[in-house]
Homo-oligomer: A and B are copies of this chain.
Amino acid sequence: MRQVKGSLTVETDGQGLYEVTARVQAWVAAQNIRHGLLTLYLHHTSASLLIQENADPDVLHDLHAFFRRVVPEDVRFYRHNQEGPDDMPAHIRAALTTTHLAIPVEDGRPDLGRWQGIYVFEHRSSPKERRLSLHLLGD
């Protein structure tokens, strides 16, 4: 068994879900590991990772709308507003989702379900560069 580490930079341009499935698949395919475990890690606290349906874009719209409703951008709710009304909601939305994912790898591909895609969920309104680490171990 061996391990390999990589990273991707994901450029985001406002709140929403950015699919990275194809880029992650391409990276895994290049590592010459057939079977194992892939771990993704996002080095930020105002963006997060999510596996979600990649068939109907309305799912992504509704998901984002839910988080806007449950975690309102209203500065009266928060003490931490230095970077604007989306600052603290970004941290809360990240806490409600996750900073890392693990996915089994089969035949050199992440073994995603038929409708599963891998997303970076951007919670800030301004453009950002997000750093995503990939760790793969296996044979």
Contacts and interface: CB of A to CB of B under 8 A. Distances in A.
Interface string A1-24: 111010000000000000000000
Q: Is the interface of A mostly helix, strand, loop or mixed?
A: mixed
B45 A91 contact: no
A32 B44 CA distance: 27
A103 B58 contact: no
A95 B63 contact: yes
Interface string A50-70: 111100101101110110001
Nearest to A37: B135
Interface in A83-139: 88, 91-92, 94-104, 106, 111-116, 131, 133, 135, 137-139
A45 B113 contact: yes
A28 to B, nearest CB: 15
Interface residues of A, number: 60
Contacts of A1: 1-3, 137
28 contacts: A3-B35, A3-B37, A39-B102, A41-B103, A41-B111, A43-B111, A43-B113, A44-B116, A45-B113, A45-B115, A45-B116, A46-B53, A51-B99, A52-B95, A53-B91, A56-B80, A59-B91, A62-B79, A63-B92, A66-B92, A70-B70, A96-B96, A98-B98, A99-B116, A104-B133, A104-B135, A111-B133, A137-B137
